[in-house]
């Protein structure tokens, strides 16, 4: 094992330990969904999407260093193919893929037979595939007059969304024939990739086909025009203008050297997918830690208030009952004392009987005040860092979960209330402020060194 591998292993162990030993116990207690445990960091995955005939499969073959996928001018792929390393050549169908506990694709089962008939796993002994999984996808087309769901027999957009979430890099191909004019690709962009745009690389492929610069500029402009209608960022994202060397047909008039450079840059991005995966993982760990910290501290505050009220109400009911019984017993000769005692005892019993309903009302009351509790908990930080908007945004993303947890916590001790949690919260703060950012920094150094 070389120094790089050893460092990677240490980083993976640190990510696991932060997630499982620090975040998980708090998340479990406070009913916070932390996502599934990932034993290992997993295989870095690149998802290829784009118009039909834009060169996805050709590019996949080029990356893998062998002809694994069929290619051609007519629409070729009508399904998703996962391509990864295996010592022996082996192909497995969709059912085997979703059933395999070692693969992270169990969730695809929900799309039913329509998808499973269009899903494959190919293992190949190419060394370029070691520690890499490439997903080739069906080309996007315009399905005139029918929704893509009907046309494909499964929820294409849903499948893309799910695969995009678990991938580390999404390469979206356009080509000179269809520079962003295909209805399905525009739809996929706006609906399925909305939350993962930070992982998307836009590729304008097959640029070797242009006869001259004017021809290129016209089509490139048209691609930018189409993208500007669907990408909601302020700036235009970078577009890699590429071609696959062994598929290129040099027309003679057009200098391809700049595009060679652009192709190289795209390949470099794919080379760095391992670091990107870890960076994504650590970034999402940081997000989860921040959300969990907020959710847990506001919930604990409510838990503490509820506990005080439960104790107070229990105490009042108990005192009334005991006092009433004592009064009725000692003053049994006197009808006033007797009646007074019985009334008190009944009041105590009444409170006991109505305990659950009273507490449900109190819970409703506290849930309505959640925003106030959040501001009380974070008043110090808001004043100190003046980052009110950021913290409020974070609270908006957490609020619904906190409310759901509180409303669904059954039992007297269901909402953790102990002030001892403060100790765990300090540990979470330490991770959020120091340990996780240091890990991110460490990873970026790693990436620089590896590049």
Ligand X SMILES: Nc1nc2c(ncn2[C@@H]2O[C@H](COP(=O)(O)OP(=O)(O)OP(=O)(O)O)[C@@H](O)[C@H]2O)c(=O)[nH]1
Q: Does 249 bind ligand X (CB under 6 A)?
A: yes
CB nearer to Mg ion: give 83 or 256.
Answer: 83
Identified binder of ligand X from the candidate list 14, 38, 71, 149, rule CB under 6 A: 71
Q: Does 76 bind Mg ion (CB under 5 A)?
A: yes
Closest CA to 158 of 130, 124, 192, 132: 192
Which two structure tokens, joined as six digits, stand for 301? 């505050």
CB nearer to Mg ion: give 57 or 167.
Answer: 57
Q: What mask of x and - would describe binding to Mg ion in positions 42 to 71, judged by CB under 5 A?
A: --------------xx--------------
Which two structure tokens, joined as six digits, stand for 166? 């678990």
- Distance, CA of 423 to CA of 16 (rounded, Å): 21
- Kindly compute the dihedral angle of the four CA atoms of residues 315, 320, 323, 326, in this order, to the nearest 10 degrees: -120
Which two structure tokens, joined as six digits, stand for 174? 């356009």
CB nearer to ligand X: give 137 or 167.
Answer: 137
CB nearer to Mg ion: give 83 or 431.
Answer: 83
Residue sitting closest to ligand X (CB): 139
Partner from Mg ion, ligand X, none binding residue 205, C-beta < 5-8 Å depending on class: ligand X
Partner from Mg ion, ligand X, none binding residue 185, C-beta < 5-8 Å depending on class: none
Q: Does 56 bind ligand X (CB under 6 A)?
A: yes
Q: Rounded to the nearest whole angstrom, what is the least distance from the CB of residue 68 to ligand X in the complex?
A: 11
Q: Among 7-15, 74-82, 310-318, 418-426, which window interacts with Mg ion (CB under 5 A)?
A: 74-82
Partner from ligand X, Mg ion, none binding residue 209, C-beta < 5-8 Å depending on class: ligand X
Q: Does 184 bind ligand X (CB under 6 A)?
A: no
Give the length of the chain.
Answer: 451
Identified binder of ligand X from the candidate list 1, 40, 73, 420, rule CB under 6 A: 73
CB nearer to ligand X: give 11 or 209.
Answer: 209
Q: Among 72-80, 143-151, 257-265, 441-449, which window interacts with Mg ion (CB under 5 A)?
A: 72-80
Identified binder of ligand X from the candidate list 98, 170, 223, 244, rule CB under 6 A: 244
Partner from ligand X, Mg ion, none binding residue 248, C-beta < 5-8 Å depending on class: ligand X
- Distance, CA of 292 to CA of 152 (rounded, Å): 39
Q: Does 77 bind Mg ion (CB under 5 A)?
A: yes
Q: Rounded to the nearest whole angstrom, what is the least distance from the CB of residue 173 to Mg ion in the complex?
A: 10
Q: Does 77 bind ligand X (CB under 6 A)?
A: yes
Q: Does 188 bind ligand X (CB under 6 A)?
A: no
| Strand 169-174 versus strand 133-136 pairing type | unpaired
Q: Does 54 bind ligand X (CB under 6 A)?
A: yes
CB nearer to ligand X: give 53 or 167.
Answer: 53
Identified binder of ligand X from the candidate list 11, 53, 226, 262, rule CB under 6 A: 53
Q: Does 11 bind ligand X (CB under 6 A)?
A: no
Q: Does 246 bind ligand X (CB under 6 A)?
A: no
Burial of 66-96, coded b for 16+ CB within 10 Å and e otherwise, reads: eebbebeeeebbebbbbbbbbeeeeebebee
Partner from Mg ion, ligand X, none binding residue 72, C-beta < 5-8 Å depending on class: ligand X
Contacts of 368 (CB under 8 A, 6+ apart): none
| Residues of this chain that bind ligand X (CB under 6 A) | 50, 52-58, 71-73, 75-77, 139, 205-206, 208-209, 243-244, 247-249
| Residues of this chain that bind Mg ion (CB under 5 A) | 56-57, 76-77
């Amino acid at each position: 094992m070389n120094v790089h591998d050893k460092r990677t292993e240490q980083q993976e162990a640190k990510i696991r330990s932060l997630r499982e030993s620090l975040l998980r116990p708090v998340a479990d207690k406070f009913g916070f969904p932390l996502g599934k445990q990932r034993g290992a960091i997993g295989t870095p995955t690149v998802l290829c999407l784009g118009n039909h005939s834009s060169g996805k499969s050709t590019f996949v073959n080029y990356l893998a260093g062998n002809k694994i996928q069929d290619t051609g001018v007519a629409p070729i792929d009508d399904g998703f193919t996962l391509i990864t390393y295996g010592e022996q050549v082996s192909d497995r169908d969709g059912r085997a893929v979703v059933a395999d506990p070692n693969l992270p694709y169990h969730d695809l089962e929900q799309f039913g037979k329509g998808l499973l008939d269009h899903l494959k796993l190919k293992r190949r002994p190419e060394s370029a595939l070691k520690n890499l999984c490439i997903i080739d996808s069906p080309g996007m087309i315009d399905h005139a007059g029918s929704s893509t769901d009907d046309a494909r027999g499964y929820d294409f957009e849903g499948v893309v969304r799910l695969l995009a979430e678990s991938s580390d890099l999404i390469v979206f191909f356009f080509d000179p024939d269809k520079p962003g004019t295909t209805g399905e690709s525009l739809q996929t962009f706006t609906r399925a990739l909305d939350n993962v745009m930070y992982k998307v690389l836009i590729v304008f492929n097959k640029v070797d086909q242009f006869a001259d610069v004017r021809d290129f500029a016209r089509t490139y402009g048209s691609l930018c025009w189409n993208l500007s209608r669907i990408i909601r960022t302020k700036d235009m994202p970078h577009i890699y203008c590429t071609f696959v060397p062994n598929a290129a047909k040099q027309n003679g008039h057009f200098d391809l050297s700049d595009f060679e450079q652009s192709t190289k840059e795209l390949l470099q991005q794919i080379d760095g997918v391992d670091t990107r995966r870890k960076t994504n993982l650590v970034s999402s760990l940081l997000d989860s830690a921040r959300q969990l910290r907020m959710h847990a501290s506001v919930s604990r505050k409510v838990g503490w208030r509820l506990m005080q009220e439960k104790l107070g109400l229990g105490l009042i009911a108990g005192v009334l009952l005991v006092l009433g019984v004592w009064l009725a017993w000692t003053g049994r000769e006197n009808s006033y004392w007797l009646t007074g005692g019985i009334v008190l005892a009944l009041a105590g019993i009444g409170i006991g009987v109505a305990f659950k309903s009273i507490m449900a009302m109190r819970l409703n009351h506290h849930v309505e005040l959640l925003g106030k509790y959040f501001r009380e908990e974070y008043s110090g930080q808001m004043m100190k860092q003046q980052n009110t908007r950021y913290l409020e945004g974070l609270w908006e993303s957490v609020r619904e979960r906190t409310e759901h947890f509180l409303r669904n916590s059954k039992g007297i001790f269901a909402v953790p209330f102990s002030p001892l949690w403060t100790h765990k919260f300090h540990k979470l703060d330490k991770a959020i402020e120091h340990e996780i950012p240091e890990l991110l920094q460490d990873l970026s150094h790693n990436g620089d060194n590896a590049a």
